[in-house]
Amino acid sequence: MEKLLQNLNDFLGKVEETKKRYGIARDIQIVAAGKFRSPEELKTLYSTGRISAIGENRVQEFRLNYTPELMWDIIGQLQTNKVKYVVGKVRLIQSLDRIPLAEEIERIAGMRGVRQECLIEINSGSEISKGGIEANEITGFVEELKNYPHIRLRGVMAVAPRGLPEDKLEDCFNRAREAFESIDFIDGFDILSMGMSEDFRIALKCGSNMLRPGRILFDGESSIIKY
């Protein structure tokens, strides 16, 4: 566990360096992407107070790991029939990307008397994520979601494809940022979640205020190709 805490410290140092390099003053939230990690590792990370949530990709894993003492986000594609396992338990569903999913979140949240906070996932051509709406569809999508009082939209999430040349990666993040900024008529629409182990520096440069590192926290820097 010492190594894990060291990795977290190293990562936070790199985030600070990057903020300085690009003159970034805003606060940056860290969501630890916890796929296939042990509950002990997740607890250790969360108990530092330096990360704001654990991001789970798969509902099955979320159900195994869930404990109310930690904060949780869903960051992977969410199947409609699994919505009932997460609504009201997670801080954010980061992967809202289709109306039938919104309908089910609305239905379950209404039944439970909660308002579920969600990010809209923008498709950037990533193989990891595959989900997401097109950036230019965001206004229409948000319009449709007006009729869902138990969903509160908080911002945008994007997963960039791996291995892009730096300029293409920037294009990708900038498209997501522009979509995010175009929604300036919703109170509290203020989260732009982008950036993982390999690409967090470019994501910060392009306006991210929420990073979702995984391997760089759990495995350390060594295995990561970085920009």
Ligand X SMILES: *Cc1c(COP(=O)(O)O)cnc(C)c1O
Site of interaction with ligand X (CB under 6 A): 33, 35, 57, 75-76, 128-129, 159, 196-198, 212-216
Contact (Cβ atoms closer than 8 angstroms) between residue 96 and residue 80: no
The least distance separating ligand X from the CB of residue 121, rounded to whole angstroms, comes to 9
Q: Which is nearer to ligand X, 148 or 197 (CB)?
A: 197
Q: Helix 39-46 and helix 2-22: axis angle, to 10°?
A: 50
Which H or E run contains 23? none
Tell me the residue length of the chain: 227
Write phi, then psi, for 121 (nearest 5 degrees).
-85, 130
The least distance separating ligand X from the CB of residue 195, rounded to whole angstroms, comes to 8
Distance CA(208)–CA(59), nearest Å, equals 25
Q: Which is nearer to ligand X, 35 or 107 (CB)?
A: 35
Q: Which is nearer to ligand X, 57 or 209 (CB)?
A: 57
The least distance separating ligand X from the CB of residue 209, rounded to whole angstroms, comes to 15
Name the residue number minimizing CB distance to ligand X: 214
Q: Which is nearer to ligand X, 150 or 207 (CB)?
A: 207
The least distance separating ligand X from the CB of residue 8, rounded to whole angstroms, comes to 13
Q: Smallest Cα–Cα separation from 215: which of 15, 83, 33?
A: 33
The least distance separating ligand X from the CB of residue 185, rounded to whole angstroms, comes to 27
Distance CA(139)–CA(3), nearest Å, equals 44
Q: Which is nearer to ligand X, 155 or 214 (CB)?
A: 214
